[in-house]
Amino acid sequence: MDKLNFKNYRIEAENICVDYHGKVALYDANLRLKAGQICGLVGMNGAGKTTFFNALTGFVNISKGKIRINGESLKIAQQDQTIAYVPQIEGIDSQFPVSVWDVVMMGRYGSMNILRSPRESDIQAVKDAIERVDLMELSSIPIGNLSGGQRKRTFLARAIAQRASILLLDEPFAGVDIRTEKLISELFIQFKNEGKTILLSTHDMIHVREFCDLVLLINKTVVAYGETSEVFTPENITSTFGGMSPDVLFGPES
């Protein structure tokens, strides 16, 4: 891509590598996403999906390659609250003594003063976000008392309150109830219309077909990347999952 086009990409990851104490978790990975695109991140457990997210949020340092967010460095993206990360439900301490409201307010911390004292606008943003995920009546409840789906919605609300333009979602549909699944699906369509860029990891092949414009198949590195209709083929999926037949993964009709 030439320099002029550079700014057009929300996310631009170029040949990134991540290693943990000498063990390679991800190498030569590339990704380019524009505004309004939804991309599915598909791979086995240990294929480097969470590592990819960690690299894009800056939670781990990349050992090689380059990440640009809106054409700027990751540090600027962090300061500008550009990226929101919605964790897997298992990845958080559900017994931590905080309420739904507290968690959603954490989405505003990055743009508050040092004491993190909420302004009127922060309170309004939190209210709006909680309303959008339909948890208003539970806003003072400790997160330990929520169901898995309600907890997932809480963290989605945090990302909404943050007003991020890039959403990274780790297994958004894992372990949630039907109502939450429906609500998340509707939100995805709204996010897309608002021009947000979404990268989501999932095990569910049906969700990829349903929501994702693009798909990124990884197994330590990129196996295939492109439009879902072109790239999401049984052959590619088989090689992503180390030779396992796609029939096993999502039924014979595919």
Partner 1 sequence: MDLCFLSTNITSFVADPLSHEFMRKALLMSSLVAAVCGFLSSYLTLKGWALMGDAVSHSVMPGVVVAYALGLPFSLGAFVFGVGSVALIGFVKQKSRVKEDTVIGLVFTGFFALGIVLISKIKSNIDLHSILFGSPLGISLSDVKQTVLISLLVVILLSVFRKDLILYCFDPRHAKTVGINVLFLHYLLLTCLSLAAVVGLQSVGLVLVVAMLITPGATAYLLTDNFDNMTIISVISAIISSIIGIYFSFWFDLETGGSIVLVQTFIFLFTFLFAPRYGIFKFKKIIF
Cα–Cα distance, 223 to 25 (Å, whole number): 14
Tell me which residue of 251, 153, 208, 200 sits closest to 33, measured CA to CA. 200
Segment interacting with partner 1 (CB under 8 A) among 11-19, 93-101, 188-196, 198-206: 93-101
Examine residue 198 and tell whether it contacts partner 1 (CB under 8 A).
no
Cα–Cα distance, 37 to 212 (Å, whole number): 8
User: Contacting partner 1 (CB under 8 A), which of 15, 121, 145, 229?
Assistant: 145
Q: At what angle do helices 178-193 and 148-161 cross, to 10 degrees?
A: 20
Which residue type is seen at 223? V
Q: Which helix (H) or strand (E) holds 121?
A: helix 120-132
Joined tokens for residue 111: 């743009």
Joined tokens for residue 123: 């309170």
13-42 binders of partner 1 (CB under 8 A): 21
User: Contacting partner 1 (CB under 8 A), which of 87, 175, 181, 239?
Assistant: 87
x/- mask, partner 1, residues 125-144, rule CB under 8 A, reads: -----------------x-x
* Binding footprint of partner 1 on the chain (CB under 8 A): 21, 54, 57-59, 75, 78-81, 83-85, 87, 92-93, 96-99, 102, 106-107, 109-111, 114-116, 142, 144-145, 158, 162
